Amino acid sequence: MFARPSPAAGQGKARVNELLNKLQVDLQAEKLTAEERQSLLEKLKVLGRDPSNSESIFARKGIEILCEYGFDVAELEVSQEALRCLANAMLLQEAPRQYLLDLGYGDKAAQRLRNDDRNDEFLISRIIFLLTYNTTVDLTELVENNELANSICRVKQLIDILDCSTKAYPESELEQTTTPLLLLLRKIQIKASSDVREQMQSLLLPTVEDRSKPLGQGDSLPSRLLRLSISPALVNLRESISTLLYELSDSDPTTFIHNIGYGYAAGYLSTHKIDVPETMMKADAQSADINPVTGQRLAAEPTNPEPEMTDEEKEREAERLFVLFERLKATGVVDVENPVHQAMREGRFDN
């Protein structure tokens, strides 16, 4: 049983302890109806949103009670209400994540993904990806033991959660809430069968429709992932996104650039000291009419509406480009001939 707090501890804590005590007693007595159990859990969920009330929920015994209701009770509505309480506790504090594993409910959570129920899908996927963050979970074992990597349906459920997360959470919260899910997807794709991996590629890499504009400018999941992959504030998240996309590109730099465009690939390749074939920067090297920098289809690029420049305008533009290119060379970023020099030497620009 839970000790009653002193009056100074606040009514919220006292009410949480009271609810947990009732739930614990009924695990043995089984006198409450399903509706009564669900009502107790709903009240606990509301109170549990405030960490100052939730010390008893975060404790090992509190997590054990919620796990028993979440995974061992037959009534679906009761079970799902307990899972909501668990997911909230695991989000607010790290300790409940490890307690769930220590109590042996990691595999039960993974097995629960077999249920054909949308609420189950959302709740269990959320719990599983929280288990991947600062716990002793063996992801490879979790994936293999429960065949998560060999079910297109289950993988799609996890990607649906990723899609919802990138829409629902503000960018400042994505580092904590979404990075664990990306790590799980990376583990899955390593062990996945070919058809599951192809499904992941179709859902996470840019599509033909995405290429109707420069990559990253749409609102699809791949577009959102690309924008997040270059966010300066999201160090762990951007690394996880780029690594997953690189691995889904067969860990090949040419395929990687083809899939996401050099603009998004360059930073990751440079940071990891991965060489890029020089021919890759030619559009025809990709065997497709795709701009290698933006990833957009060449046919979809806007035509230049500007009238042709006069000779004076061309000369001024050439001078501007010459100066800019010389400044760029001075930084050491590039070490090739100034294209204005080359044009003059080849007779394409009058001296």
Count the Cβ atoms, other than its own, within 10 Å of residue 8. Answer: 6
How far, in Å, CA of 21 to CA of 13, rounded? 12
Contact assessment for residue 102 and residue 108, using Cβ atoms and an 8 Å cutoff: no
DSSP, res 320: H
How far, in Å, CA of 44 to CA of 63, rounded? 12
Query: What are 168-205's pLDDT values in tens digits?
Result: 888 888 887 788 889 889 988 988 889 999 999 999 99
Q: Residue 294, SS3?
A: coil
Q: Residue 281, SS3?
A: helix
Contact assessment for residue 210 and residue 223, using Cβ atoms and an 8 Å cutoff: yes
Query: What are 15-66's pLDDT values in tens digits?
Result: 999 999 999 999 999 999 999 999 999 999 999 999 999 999 999 999 999 9
Residue 351's pLDDT is 47
Residue 17's pLDDT is 96
Averaged pLDDT, 89-116: 93
Residue 312's pLDDT is 76
DSSP 192-205: --HHHHHHHHHHHS
Tokens of 236: 């762990």
Lowest-pLDDT range of 234-238, 274-278, 312-316: 312-316
Averaged pLDDT, 143-157: 80
| Domain spans of the chain, in order of start | 10-96, 105-187+194-204, 210-298
How far, in Å, CA of 225 to CA of 245, rounded? 9
- End-to-end CA, the chain: 92
Q: Is the pLDDT of residue 6 over 70?
A: no
Residue 177's pLDDT is 76
- Residues near 6 by Cβ (< 8 Å), separated by ≥ 6? none
Please provide the size of the chain in residues: 351
Contact assessment for residue 88 and residue 48, using Cβ atoms and an 8 Å cutoff: yes
